A and B are shown apart, each in its own frame.
Chain A
Amino acid sequence: MTTLPAYDEANGLDVVPRRVSRKARGVDAVFEHSARAIGASVLVITGGVGLFLGWQAYPTLSRYGLDFFTESRWLPEEDVVGIAAVLTGTVSIALVAMTFAFPLALLTALYISEYAPARIKSTLVAMVDLMAAVPSIVYGLWGYLLVMPRAGELAQWLHANLGWIPFFDIRGTDPDAAVPDASRYLYSSFAAGIAVAMMVLPMACAVMRQVFSQAPQGEKEAALALGATRWGMIRSVVLPFGRGGIIGGTMLGLGRALGETIAVVLIISPTFDVKWNLTEIGSNSVSAHIALQFGEASPAQLSALLAAGFVLFLITLLVNTLAAVVVNRSRSGAGTDA
């Protein structure tokens, strides 16, 4: 039986509301403060890395100024240091990678979300995730020993048949010679880009698939009920809905492609000239440059390498932030209640 609280006639007016405070007490205070401490320490560690890079990069950047970005040679002994060549190499490798990865990721994401039989769908999703977990050195081996010879043959064919496009022209060789110089077509940005494409493809694909799978079911069914074919439904519902995911996933992949090291180090033969014929021997990237140069670097050189790393980090950061903004905007309203 429920008893109502007795109303005390004499002291009735002394009843005051319980004091409610948002301030944590006891265990909660300990929890809150320790959580805050952990957060602060992580902030110090991760933020410290960024600040340290900026601090170390400053002397180099102030010494060489804009020349650091326009100079393509890297001759620390002669006090000539610049990242124009490695930066363009990084960008061209990433662009080759995205040329392969973007259409394949888009098609795979569409296949998994719209065409695959329901039975194998989860297996396919797991395969894509597994592909993302394969170490980059394995893709490096694959790219170096399996893909590069084939890519060289393709480059040779392109030179012989499409050589009038300056893009595929390779200086210093004659494709119609009796024994063409095959090594001129190897160790190129093109071959490295294919290996990097394998690394960024699953990332881009996962983001795209996730956004496609959130396309409103009702609208998809409505399109089909109005007589659209499956492709018509994809074009009118899934692709417009997933546009943000397509752009964002591609940019996330691009961010990863810019920072990829080991596959590039394995495949390219380092050079320091800015060039646009991607199938020609010799290329470079910021990360590969760091990996190859850090060993014999003097403190001043190390600062230059750190500056190069800092610039790379800023570019990746920019690309990733844009990607995050685009993906988040595309999902507005579709979130959970958290």
Chain B
Amino acid sequence: MTIQQTRPTATGVGLPAGTTHLPQVDDDAPPAVPRTSIGRPSADEQLVQWGPWLSAGALAWLLTQQLLPLPGLAWFVLAWFVLGLLVTAVLAGMHGGSIAVRDRVAASVITGGALTVGVALVSTVGFVFWEGWEPLLHLNFFTDDMAGVGPRDPFTRGGIAHAVLGSLIQLGIGLAITLPLGIGTAVFMTEVGGRFAKLVRTIVEAMTALPSIVAGLFVYTVFILTLGQPRSGLAAGLAIAVMMLPIIARAADVVLRVVPGGLREASLALGASRWKTVWHVVLPTARPGLATAVILGSARGVGETSPVLLTSGAAMFFVVGPTDGAMNSLPLFIYSNVRSGEDTAILRAFGAASVLLVLVLLLFVVARLLARPPRASKRRRFSLTPRGGWAQRGLDLSRANPGSVAGAVRPAPAPAPPAPDPAFPIGPDDRPTPPQEPR
């Protein structure tokens, strides 16, 4: 071996200072053991994690189902959890101090809490679909209304199409009012500013606390009692709008506020007017966030029962005109069917609740897709929260000026009409003009 030549003859003493010594090799040492991987728990550690829960499960079964008079799943699960914590603590205490015990128990409690929430969510969604599958099998459930159908009639008659239509019409009315007003107010609060804007912001934030039933009661008192209008889809739409307006305005305000000020300043410094800055820089940058805010607001609006309960009345048939009197909607249909107490009606309510859930889920998925930056395959997904996600999106200058980066990556002869950029699907006119490439 070549290293042996450099082995120093005397250790440390008498050597000239400033020379480097290679480490000595001990020929008698046992062969090196492969290093353990630090990132992954070893088989031992994994057993320490799972073992207590296995043993606690067996113990819990023995205790609750065999020894003590505590039958039923609930007792078993409770005993399992408590015993699991106990065994985990004992096992951690066997080769670690109280610190290790606390760490393990805390990890178990936290995971258990998260699992409980997950089970509750799954049980909610699963329960609704499980109870509601029967009416969902009949096609007429999706295409018919309930005209002339009694609560005890079989599922082959009647459907909820009128309620779906009513929900969509009412949501449409609500959105037609809240969308321009809500986003306009958010633009006013962030882009114009001033003392008056602060007042508006304070009031809007205060009104997000308005309970939805009070919004319904307001429209009921003003629109139906004072103005003498009948209960109608319009009234319900107005109630939804009163409820949604502060929510959407506030969410849009939060989204616009996280657009980096640097982008605005750059646009203004380049000579754009304030209106052009808002239209071409601020709004496109915040577009996914705004869409998310609006869609989550609509999900809230379409599922809220209490304002509709007071204002819309409940028709059993198709009503298209918003002012043509009583109009049904999905939440109201569910509510009135559950209150009726008939078994068939309750199952119908569950069917309608499944449809409502699917509707909300669809809105939610659309919101997620819009909130995600394009070319998401290469990046990590963002959560719906504005911080991080939208701020990072705003900071990504390649999107604020797609020509500068995209042009450089593209093959040499850049085509004059740039490829449709998913960041700006509004239309080619809304896209910031890419800088002219030198020819």
Name A residues whose Cβ lies closer than 8 Å to a Cβ of B. 24, 26-28, 30-32, 34-36, 38-43, 45-47, 49-50, 52-53, 56, 103-108, 110-112, 114-116, 122, 124-127, 129-131, 133-142, 144-146, 150, 198, 201, 205-206, 210, 213-214, 229-232, 234, 255, 258-262, 266, 287, 290-291, 294, 299, 302, 305-306, 309-310, 312-313, 316-317, 319-321, 324, 336-338
Of B19-27, B271-279, B412-420, the one contacting chain A is B271-279
User: Which residue from B199, B249, B300, B350 sits with its C-beta under 8 Å from A141?
Assistant: B350
B424 within 8 A of A: no
Q: A110-B110, A127-B118 are in contact. Are A35 and B187 (CB under 8 A)?
A: yes
Q: Are A38 and B113 in contact (CB under 8 A)?
A: no
B94 within 8 A of A: no
Question: In whole angstroms, what is the CA distance A188 to B346 when docked?
Answer: 21
User: Which residue from B185, B278, B387 sits with its C-beta under 8 Å from A210?
Assistant: B387
Q: A49-B210, A56-B221, A266-B338 are in contact. Are A42 and B204 (CB under 8 A)?
A: yes
Q: Are A129 and B384 in contact (CB under 8 A)?
A: yes
Residues of A within 8 A of B305 (CB): 135-137, 261-262
Residues of B within 8 A of A127 (CB): 118, 121
Q: A31-B274, A141-B350, A142-B127 are in contact. Are A133 and B356 (CB under 8 A)?
A: no
Report 9 cross-chain contacts, Cβ distance below 8 Å, ordered by A residue.
A47-B203, A111-B114, A122-B383, A129-B383, A133-B303, A133-B360, A141-B338, A198-B120, A306-B217
Q: Who on chain A is nearest to B184 by CB? A: A38
Which residues of B, 221-269, contact A by the 8 Å Cβ criterion? 221-222, 225, 242, 245-246, 249, 257-262
B36 → A minimal CB distance (Å): 19
Closest 9 CB pairs of A and B: A135-B303, A107-B113, A259-B211, A38-B184, A111-B114, A229-B103, A39-B188, A231-B106, A31-B275
Q: Who on chain A is nearest to B360 by CB? A: A133
Q: Are A231 and B107 in contact (CB under 8 A)?
A: yes
A6 → B minimal CB distance (Å): 24
Question: In whole angstroms, what is the CA distance A127 to B383 when docked?
Answer: 11
Q: Are B304 and A135 in contact (CB under 8 A)?
A: yes
Q: Are A28 and B275 in contact (CB under 8 A)?
A: yes
Question: In whole angstroms, what is the CA distance A316 to B199 when docked?
Answer: 20
Q: Who on chain B is nearest to A30 by CB? A: B275
Contact with A along B368-394 (1 / 0, CB 8 A): 100000000000111111011001000
Which residues of B, 99-140, contact A by the 8 Å Cβ criterion? 99-100, 102-103, 106-107, 109-114, 116-118, 120-121, 123-125, 127-128, 131
Residues of A within 8 A of B303 (CB): 133-138
Residues of B within 8 A of A337 (CB): 260-262
Q: Who on chain A is nearest to B276 by CB? A: A27
Q: A290-B214, A338-B258 are in contact. Are A133 and B300 (CB under 8 A)?
A: yes
Question: In whole angstroms, what is the CA distance A324 to B382 when docked?
Answer: 24
Q: Who on chain A is nearest to B352 by CB? A: A137
A148 → B minimal CB distance (Å): 12
Of B46-54, B80-88, B190-198, B398-406, the one contacting chain A is B190-198
Q: A42-B200, A201-B117, A266-B335 are in contact. Are A210 and B385 (CB under 8 A)?
A: yes
Q: Who on chain A is nearest to B257 by CB? A: A338
Q: Are B113 and A104 in contact (CB under 8 A)?
A: yes
Question: In whole angstroms, what is the CA distance A52 to B361 when docked?
Answer: 36
User: Which residue from A28, A42, A206 sits with its C-beta under 8 Å from B181?
Assistant: A42
A258 → B minimal CB distance (Å): 7
Q: A26-B273, A104-B113, A210-B387 are in contact. Are A261 and B124 (CB under 8 A)?
A: no
A316 → B minimal CB distance (Å): 4
Q: A135-B331, A287-B306 are in contact. Are A122 and B381 (CB under 8 A)?
A: yes
Q: Are B211 and A312 in contact (CB under 8 A)?
A: yes
Question: In whole angstroms, what is the CA distance A131 to B111 when docked?
Answer: 18
Q: Are A137 and B275 in contact (CB under 8 A)?
A: no
Q: Are B387 and A214 in contact (CB under 8 A)?
A: yes
Q: Are B361 and A130 in contact (CB under 8 A)?
A: yes
B240 → A minimal CB distance (Å): 13
Residues of B within 8 A of A106 (CB): 113
B159 → A minimal CB distance (Å): 19
A44 → B minimal CB distance (Å): 10
Question: In whole angstroms, what is the CA distance A234 to B105 when docked?
Answer: 13
B296 within 8 A of A: yes
Q: Who on chain B is nearest to A260 by CB? A: B211
Q: Are A49 and B242 in contact (CB under 8 A)?
A: yes
Q: Are A133 and B299 in contact (CB under 8 A)?
A: yes
Q: A122-B380, A137-B305, A214-B387 are in contact. Are A43 and B199 (CB under 8 A)?
A: yes
B97 → A minimal CB distance (Å): 10
Contact with A along B128-157 (1 / 0, CB 8 A): 100100000000000000000000000000
Q: Who on chain A is nearest to B122 by CB? A: A127
B43 within 8 A of A: no
Q: Who on chain B is nearest to A135 by CB? A: B303
B156 → A minimal CB distance (Å): 24
A116 → B minimal CB distance (Å): 8
B207 within 8 A of A: yes
Q: Are A115 and B209 in contact (CB under 8 A)?
A: no
Question: In whole angstroms, what is the CA distance A61 to B347 when docked?
Answer: 44
Q: Are A320 and B208 in contact (CB under 8 A)?
A: yes
Question: In whole angstroms, what is the CA distance A105 to B125 when docked?
Answer: 19
Residues of A within 8 A of B211 (CB): 258-261, 287, 309, 312-313, 316
User: Which residue from B189, B274, B360 sits with its C-beta under 8 Å from A24?
Assistant: B274
Q: A130-B364, A324-B205 are in contact. Are A53 and B99 (CB under 8 A)?
A: no
B173 within 8 A of A: no
